[in-house]
């Protein structure tokens, strides 16, 4: 029975990490003696060259998962900070009010995702990055926001400025 439980937990961990192909881990800070960590990752926007977002989130240890009984889920809390890290070239981005999803990472076995949406604020000439949790049954009020102002910057638009 114990071997089956370990196999299930290992599989869940691999599935939860599978969505993490676009981000590079740049830091990991231990927060307690049971192995819980805050993970910091760098994410490069695939359609906006020269912008890097750093996201931080809580990564529960296997010991914490086993002792608390919530084996397949990490907390929804996250933080995001996006900055210009080079010359900005903007590709084919969605200019609509709801923007577009640029990153998604599993935070539970199946149903919970950490999502980052990019929205272009045309009036203020600013890129907005919104980090939030998406769940099938209910949404979460936990979110974090970061902006990259384009005002007075040398920005190149591949398809022409809007």
Per-residue confidence (pLDDT) for residue 71, from 0 to 100: 58
Per-residue confidence (pLDDT) for residue 142, from 0 to 100: 78
Find out whether 130 and 117 touch, Cβ atoms under 8 Å: yes
Per-residue confidence (pLDDT) for residue 104, from 0 to 100: 80
Question: Across the 162 residues of the chain, what is the mean pLDDT of every consecutive 10-residue run?
Answer: 40 38 83 84 95 88 64 70 96 94 72 85 97 70 91 92 88
Per-residue confidence (pLDDT) for residue 19, from 0 to 100: 38
End-to-end CA distance of the chain: 60
Pairing of strands 143-149, 78-90: unpaired
Per-residue confidence (pLDDT) for residue 17, from 0 to 100: 39
Burial environment of residue 101 by CB neighbours within 10 A (0 to 12, 13 to 18, 19 or more): middle
Per-residue confidence (pLDDT) for residue 49, from 0 to 100: 97
pTM of the model: 0.75
């Amino acid at each position: 029975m114990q071997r089956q439980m370990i196999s299930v937990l290992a599989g869940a961990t691999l599935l939860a990490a599978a969505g993490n192909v676009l981000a590079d881990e740049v830091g990991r800070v231990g927060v307690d003696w049971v192995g819980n960590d805050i993970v910091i990752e760098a994410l490069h926007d695939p359609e906006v060259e020269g912008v890097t977002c750093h996201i931080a989130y809580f990564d529960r240890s296997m010991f914490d998962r086993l002792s608390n009984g919530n084996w397949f889920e990490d907390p929804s809390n996250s933080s995001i900070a996006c900055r210009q890290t080079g010359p900005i070239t903007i590709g084919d981005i969605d200019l609509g009010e709801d923007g577009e999803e640029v990153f998604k990472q599993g935070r539970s076995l199946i149903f919970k995702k950490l999502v980052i949406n990019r929205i272009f604020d045309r009036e203020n000439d600013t890129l907005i990055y919104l980090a939030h949790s998406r769940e099938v049954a209910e949404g979460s009020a936990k979110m974090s926001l970061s902006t990259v102002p384009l005002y007075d910057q040398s920005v190149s638009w591949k398809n022409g400025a809007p």
